[in-house]
A and B are shown apart, each in its own frame.
Chain A
Amino acid sequence: MKRAGFAVTWLPMLLLLPQLSIIAVFFYWPAAHAVHSSFFLQDPFGFGSTFVGLDNYTDLLGNAQYMKVAGFTVVFTLLVTFFSLAIALLLAVKADTVLRGAKTYRTLLMWVYAVAPPVAGVIGILMFDQSHGPLTEFFNSLGWEFKLGVNYNDTAFAMVVVSVWKQIPVNFIFLLSGLQSIPKSVREAALIDNRSASGRFWDVTFPLLAPTGFFLLIMNITYSLFDTFGVIDTVVKGEPGNNPMSLVYKVYVDGFRGNDLGGSSAQSVVLMVLVLALTIFQFRLVERRIHYT
């Protein structure tokens, strides 16, 4: 096969330039700015600032509350990622085997994808509302005194449920198309070799889904860490109080509401490093086990 390429070096550079400059202006420049201001304590209006070295970072690490938020974020991310992938996979496998009315069924499942996160949050609050939420009433009838916004665990539960619910459709779409791209011949061969449906699924289907699954894993972790902001904001109504919040939400609370620019910058830098580490870890360790066909 003939290898396509550029004869000159300046042309590819030129073609890359727009993209690179957008990345530089919108990603690297603000990131550098955040790193810079994380070493200062700044008057919100910009009249005074003091260089404090690593104080903003040591304050964070020595702060039990920040650690609690970090702990919650980890648990929240694991739960949201696991459940949104698992439930979507279950739905996709079932949808894949449906023959009659398959299109309607799939469309109905995909609809939720069009709901914006804050709207999902609002719907969530309506469902979990303290006095007349249908889910609250349901839990109460089971003897579980569910109290959104009062009880830490109940609020966390609602946040996870709403976030998972919001993410399932995206995962479903990807997993379903992943399933449908598995060659029929492979499935038929598996049918002969293995009578157990679950055995066929774990030995044949699941590994073939791995590339899609890996992509979704990264997307879902990013989603749980960052995109759930809207859900959390609507659930706590802008006043976290004793309710749980994620690291990203804390950056907002301290930086945008509290005007602590230095502290909030340090928090964003910590997040950047976390995401960087996570990405490296995933690509180094997880991707090796995946076979792209």
Chain B
Amino acid sequence: MKINFALAAAAAFGLSAPAFAETEITWWHAMGGALGETVNQIAADFNASQDDYTITPIFKGTYEETLTAGIAAFRAGEQPNIMQVFDAGAATVIGAKGATVAVEDLMKDNGVEFDINDYIAGVRYFFADNDGKMIGMPFNSSTPIMYFNEDALAKAGVEAPATWEEFASVTAPALKEAGYVPLSQSHLPWIFTENFFSRHDIQFANNNNGYDAPATEIKVNHPAIKAHFQALVDWKDAGLFEWYGTGWGDNAAPFENGEVAMWLGSSGSFGGLLKKVDFPFSAAKLPYWEAVTTEPKQTFIGGAALFAMAGKSAEENKATAEFFRFLTSENTQYFWHQQTGYVPITEAAYDVAKKDGHYDRFPAAEVGIEQLSLEAGEFTKGYRMGFYVQIRDVMNREYGRILTGETDVDTAFEAIEAEANKLLARFAKTQG
């Protein structure tokens, strides 16, 4: 028996010995479907590129589910090495000091070169702290842009509008005349609120949008955005705009099947649209109100970032840093950009894409990155608000009520302001 046991042990050791040399790390993400396949491809490429580290990507559901799973795991001491956190969860994860290791520190401590200026302007500070230190590595960075059906615009004899004034007076009536629903959009809080504030460089929350100190007051009840929503209501009544509910896909579907001529979605929707639609389409930057500003600024990035969770061994952190090195390399970023439409996060990768002629083939793929590279304003860096997921829920609810005629714009924005401020106060108390 003893001999058998010794043999078995030797055999087991012999078999698993090579595995000991590799440091294994895990990566929890929210990229389903085709995006998930691309994520798996990147992980497989990284594993194949060297022998020291193995990364295992694990799909954990939606953004919210991934964040919740990560939090629960962290509380149980079983957190993954890398967790993907979306824009609205940024305040939660960055606010929890000690939950993550700042990406910038992680890279530098492990001998990976890092310079925040290598990243394209629009992605630098959204997941950074107020001193400009990058905490989360922007991964699937996107920004809202306006897709349009080229056939529809040609039929109506118009160009994609640059401003909302142009949309209202020229583009939309012509498209309606040509038999199309001129416009729909997905995600009102993201496109018509957060990015509305960024595009027009209006303050979104006090304390420098929550960067200097936790935000205690949301500035959403602003005349410019109220005028915008009033315009939406009027456009909807006039048949120039349609709203198909809170669901992202509900608003995208009518564009994809050719009913709607222009759709505001994510630059990250590009890859999916290429596969889905059978008409020529392109994209333009998010329109702005000339009445509000004549110098429209860059928009926020949406999407998500990768955070290195705290409480891991030096060896595993080294592996994480090496993976980030691989992930931010030009070729990986270009691959990701091509496959999905999310923007390449570094200038170098953007250059590779340009040189390769990617944007000559697909001009629409460049719109997001151009928009993110526009001039920055005082309030275009991002925003930090606690319990922001719930604040978005409140916005979604009130916006839905505005667009179904259950409430008016003034009442809705007062309600959002009041409830959001209450949530911010509650969040402040959680910090103990």
Residue positions of A touching B, CB distance < 8 A = 41-50, 52, 59, 65, 130-131, 147-152, 236-243, 253-254, 256-260, 262-263
Contacts and interface: CB of A to CB of B under 8 A. Distances in A.
Given A256-B68, A258-B390, A263-B426, A149 B244 contact: yes
Interface string B63-75: 0110110010011
A131 B254 contact: yes
Contact of B390 (A41, A147, A242, A254): A254
A150 B253 contact: no
B216 interface: no
A42 B72 CA distance: 13
B397 interface: yes
Contacts of A42: 430
26 contacts: A42-B430, A43-B431, A48-B432, A49-B432, A65-B419, A130-B245, A130-B253, A150-B244, A150-B245, A150-B403, A151-B404, A237-B247, A237-B249, A239-B248, A240-B246, A241-B246, A242-B246, A242-B400, A242-B404, A254-B390, A256-B68, A258-B390, A259-B67, A259-B71, A259-B387, A260-B426
Contacts of A50: 429-430, 432
B97 interface: yes
A48 B97 CA distance: 10
Given A43-B95, A45-B96, A260-B390, A241 B396 contact: yes
Nearest to A64: B415
Interface in B364-401: 387, 389-390, 393, 396-401
Majority-rule SS of A interface residues: loop
A47 B96 contact: yes
Given A43-B432, A131-B253, A243-B246, A259 B92 contact: yes
A245 B202 CA distance: 34
B98 interface: yes
B397 A241 contact: yes
Interface string B17-51: 00000000000000000000000000000000000
B99 interface: yes
A241 B400 contact: yes
A242 B431 contact: no
Interface string B417-432: 0010011001001111
Contacts of A241: 245-246, 393, 396-397, 399-400
B59 interface: no
B96 A259 contact: no
B216 to A, nearest CB: 15
A31 B404 CA distance: 40
Contact of B247 (A149, A242, A257): A149
Interface residues of B, number: 47
A243 B247 CA distance: 11
B213 to A, nearest CB: 16
Which A-B residue pairs are the 3 nearest by beta carbons?
A48-B432, A242-B400, A241-B246
Contacts of A243: 245-246, 400
A252 to B, nearest CB: 10
Contacts of A43: 95-96, 430-432
A170 to B, nearest CB: 29
Given A151-B404, A254-B390, A52 B429 contact: yes
A60 B257 CA distance: 43
Interface in B225-271: 243-250, 253-254, 257
Contacts of B99: 45, 47
B62 interface: yes
A43 to B, nearest CB: 5
Nearest to B95: A43
B356 to A, nearest CB: 37
Contact of A130 (B96, B250, B404): B250
B247 A253 contact: no
Interface in B192-250: 243-250
Contacts of A52: 429
B406 interface: yes
Contacts of A49: 430, 432
A242 B430 contact: no
B247 A262 contact: no
Contacts of A46: 74-75
Contacts of B65: 256
B246 A149 contact: yes
Contacts of B75: 45-46
Contacts of A242: 246, 396-401, 404, 406
A45 B390 contact: no
Query: Which of B249, B401, B419, B429 counts the most A-chain CB atoms under 10 A from its CB?
Result: B429
> Which of A52, A65, A150 has the most C-beta atoms of chain B within 10 angstroms of its own C-beta?
A150
A152 B90 CA distance: 31
Most chain-A CB neighbours within 10 Å: which of B64, B406, B422? B64
A131 B247 CA distance: 14
A2 to B, nearest CB: 54
B193 to A, nearest CB: 14
Given A42-B430, A152-B404, A240-B396, A257 B244 contact: no
A231 to B, nearest CB: 16
A259 B426 contact: no
Contact of B250 (A41, A45, A47, A149): A149
B7 to A, nearest CB: 41
A257 B88 CA distance: 11
